Structure formats: C-alpha cells, structure tokens
Amino acid sequence: MARHLKIAAAQLGPLHRKDTRVDATRRLVALLREAHGMGAKFVVFPELAFTTFFPRWWMEDQAEVDRNYFERTLPSADTQPLFDAARKLGIGFYVGYAELTEEQGRPRRFNTAVLVGPDGTLVGKYRKVHLPGHAEHKPKAAFQHLEKKYFEVGDLGFRVWRFMDTITGMLICNDRRWPEAFRVLALQGAEIVALGFNTPTENLHYPEPPALRVHHHLIMAQAMAFQNATWLIETAKCGHEDGFRMFGHSLIVAPSGEIAVKSQTEEDEVICYNCDIDLAANLKKTMFNFAAHRRPEHYKLIVERVGAEVTPANEPAAKR
C-alpha cells in the first residue's frame, strides 16, 4: 500500500523588531492548529521563525543581538507552547531558529532547524551550511545581509532521518540554490526535503525585477525535487518586515517536479497536500537510479575545487 503523509507549509507574514518570541509563538501555534484542521501530520515552519530576519541590520552590541534574536535553548519558556501544542495534536514539525550554544567555553552561533516528532521528541538538527551575503558593513546598501557576520558555517553536514515512516532531510533557505546539498540528501535516500526561507524581494547587489527572483525560486524548487526524486516543502517568512519586503511563494513540489500547492499571500497562510511518498518509486528505479547511472569518477572536481577556474587553453586533440 502506498504511503501517504499530509504535509503543510505554515508560512509566516512579517515579524517586526518589536514583536516578541511570545507573539511569534502564538502565531505559529495558530498556524499549527489551522494545519491540523486541514488534516496535516507534518508541518514545515520558516527559517528563523521566532524573530524578524535580523541579519538585515548591522548591530555591534553582540550581547544585545544574543538577547534579542538567539535561542540558548529550544524550547524555552517563550517557545514551549509550540512544542506542547504539536505534541497534543500529534503533529511532527520543522522549525528554524538562531541557535546560541557554548562549546569548550566558546560561544557558537548557527542558523539552525530542528525536526520534532509527533510525540515531541527531537529527531534531528541541521545547521545551515550555505551562508549568503557578507560579514562587513555596507553602509551604502539599502539593507544588509549579514549571515556571514552573525553565524558560523554549519558543522553537522547534510543528514536524513527516519521520520514518520519516511526518510526526511533538512535544508535552510540559501541551500536551495546548491544542487550539491540536495544530491547529498538524495544519496541517503531522502524522500522528503523540508526547508524554511527568508528571501528579500530586492537584490542587494544589483537591480533585478522581483518577478525574476520568484522565477528563480520556482525553477530551482521544481528542478531539485525532480532531479533528486523527492518531495520538497519550502516555507517562507515574508511580507514587509519593518519596511523590508520578502517574497512568499511557499510551496510543496512533487518528485515529478510539479508544484502541488503554492501560497497566495505574503501573510500568515497554511498550504497543505496529501503527499504520496512512494510517488518517486518508478523514477528512482529508472531515470534517477543513481546506482545504475551516476559516474562519480567524473565528478571529482565537485569536491576538489571550490571556485570556478577557467581552463587556460585547449590542448591539442591528440593529447586529450
């Protein structure tokens, strides 16, 4: 019998600087209840779901940044109601947050997501690997994207977990632009990839039409789901946060590469789909049968080289 799992993407509208974690948690719980009303068993919340997208601001007082935006524990007293409500409703979830931890007496900060089972157990943790933007202040820019200042590169790798009778992996926002991240999950048998995001509608570096940015978001999602034969759930935090707009377009993509359902607003909104987890079985046995068709001996540059290096000159044909 085919396995089905009803999955929801619980999109958040803006969270402003003045909004507290208690405010955010209240909204997340309301979304969770709405998803439950739609029959969802697994809910994917956004990246950094308890605060505004703070890397858009240059801030020098790290103690204040830690206090206002980072979680020393998850759940905390403020965020506990989400965990309680999910356990009570028997819903598993993914949620993103700014993690502050201490290792060997040294503070460490990560852009993190956790996977929580329907019984409330912490199943998995992922720390964002691809940190976009910059570390230095750009005073002339309309806004900052300081993930490289506030976070370290994740140190847990790309993993999957046995979760609710599926094999589920986690990514965070900018990871969705890197095929390598998806492929590493797919090579571990991923059937579902969950991902939260915060994507500014404007390009920080050069003028770009907002519609083109959404176009890139959609084609990436469709291609990654199809080429890796996985379900893909991508959930936005969006709208005008303190005047800075981020786009919505949360979606659930089938392993066929088709968008099953997509959000319509830039506000709090739940979308839900009954996912046939075995839908990709044929694809995994044929076109994307990795064991039969992949040629890793020809992919060595993928791990040996980081940046592109232009080949100096064509060798004579005889030497090739």
Dihedral over Cα of 236, 12, 247, 215: its sign: positive
Pairing of strands 192-197, 231-236: parallel
Q: Which of 41, 71, 128, 269 is catalytic?
A: 128
How would you label 288-301 residue by residue, b for 16+ Cβ within 10 Å and e otherwise? beeeeeeeeeeeee
Mark whether 285 is an active-site residue: no
CA distance 195 to 128: 10
Mark whether 47 is an active-site residue: yes
Question: In terms of CB distance, is 132 or 179 closer to ligand CDT?
Answer: 132
Site for ligand CDT in 139-178 (CB under 6 A): 145, 173-174, 177
Site string for ligand CDT, 24-63 (x = CB under 6 A): -----------------------x----------------
CA distance 21 to 72: 13
Rounded least distance, CB 251 to ligand CDT, Å = 14
Site string for ligand CDT, 182-201 (x = CB under 6 A): ---------------xxx--
Q: Tell me if residue 247 falls in helix, strand or coil.
A: coil
CA distance 17 to 242: 7
Rounded least distance, CB 150 to ligand CDT, Å = 11
Rounded least distance, CB 244 to ligand CDT, Å = 12
Mark whether 173 is an active-site residue: yes
| Angle CA 195–213–152, to nearest 5 | 45
Rounded least distance, CB 195 to ligand CDT, Å = 10
Question: In terms of CB distance, is 41 or 130 closer to ligand CDT?
Answer: 130
Rounded least distance, CB 176 to ligand CDT, Å = 7
Question: In terms of CB distance, is 86 or 238 closer to ligand CDT?
Answer: 238
* β partners of residue 262: 251
CA distance 245 to 210: 10
Dihedral over Cα of 7, 13, 14, 18: its sign: negative
Residue 218 within binding range of ligand CDT, rule CB under 6 A: no
Residue 88: other Cβ atoms inside 10 A: 11
Site for ligand CDT in 112-141 (CB under 6 A): 132-133
Question: In terms of CB distance, is 113 or 192 closer to ligand CDT?
Answer: 113
Residue 112, CA atoms < 13 Å, CB-side half-sphere = 21
Q: Which residues form the interface with ligand CDT (CB under 6 A)?
A: 47, 132-133, 145, 173-174, 177, 197-199, 204
Which residues are catalytically annotated? 47, 128, 173
